[in-house]
A and B are shown apart, each in its own frame.
Chain A
Amino acid sequence: AQKVTQAQTEISVVEKEDVTLDCVYETRDTTYYLFWYKQPPSGELVFLIRRNSFDEQNEISGRYSWNFQKSTSSFNFTITASQVVDSAVYFCALRGEYGNKLVFGAGTILRVKS
């Protein structure tokens, strides 16, 4: 069975602080795909990143960075110098090698205060 755990239910930070959102996953597939999505109050799920299991390179995109560690089955997401616009629910998700189904974590609510 596949499972994604986002242990942090809610995080509050002050603007310009760095924040890391944790994601731990379980799967028996040797090839799998990990995703992060952002859901602002408007409701739309915004795709942020896909990481393939066979590519362990970390990635940086502006203020966002992702740390994929197969050894600990984790795919953590760091926002540097957070801004109020980063306030949203963030979902980590997993999809196995075959099939269309995304397995989502419970989500982490991020509140960035000015």
Chain B
Amino acid sequence: DTEVTQTPKHLVMGMTNKKSLKCEQHMGHRAMYWYKQKAKKPPELMFVYSYEKLSINESVPSRFSPECPNSSLLNLHLHALQPEDSALYLCASSPGQGKGAYEQYFGPGTRLTVT
């Protein structure tokens, strides 16, 4: 079962709010990812967790704060966002990380609107 779940599906938040996006996978994957996707653009990598440790941060502003409580869960904490942060946020996981032949499996995404 190659399923990654994300909650919520949609989120509307004000610029002063604090909210969290959640991602879960039960495939025993070792790496988990957050991507941001603007309309009509490809996904952009934000963070990579490998064995529950942050391994890549693509110079993402500190108003986005990732957390990996355990090997199955990945959160993205949001605080003081700007309207330009409105986008589709995609979570992904992969069986491997670093070197090797493997693919990333994506969740359905959270559509975030910042007002």
Residues of A within 8 A of B (CB): 33, 35, 37, 42-47, 50, 52, 91, 97-102, 104-107
Contact = CB atoms under 8 A, between A and B. Distances in A.
A45 B101 contact: no
Interface of B: 2, 31, 33, 40-43, 45, 48, 50, 55-56, 88, 90, 92, 94, 97-99, 101-109, 111
Contact of B33 (A35, A46, A100, A105): A100
B51 to A, nearest CB: 12
A100 B42 contact: no
B33 A50 contact: no
Judged by DSSP, the binding face of A is loop
Contacts, number: 57
Q: Which of B42, B88, B99 has the most CB of A within 10 A?
A: B42
Contacts of B103: 33, 35, 47, 50
Given A45-B43, A102-B43, 11 more contacts: A43-B109, A45-B92, A50-B103, A52-B101, A100-B33, A100-B48, A104-B43, A105-B42, A106-B41, A107-B41, A107-B42
Contacts of B92: 45
B107 A44 contact: yes
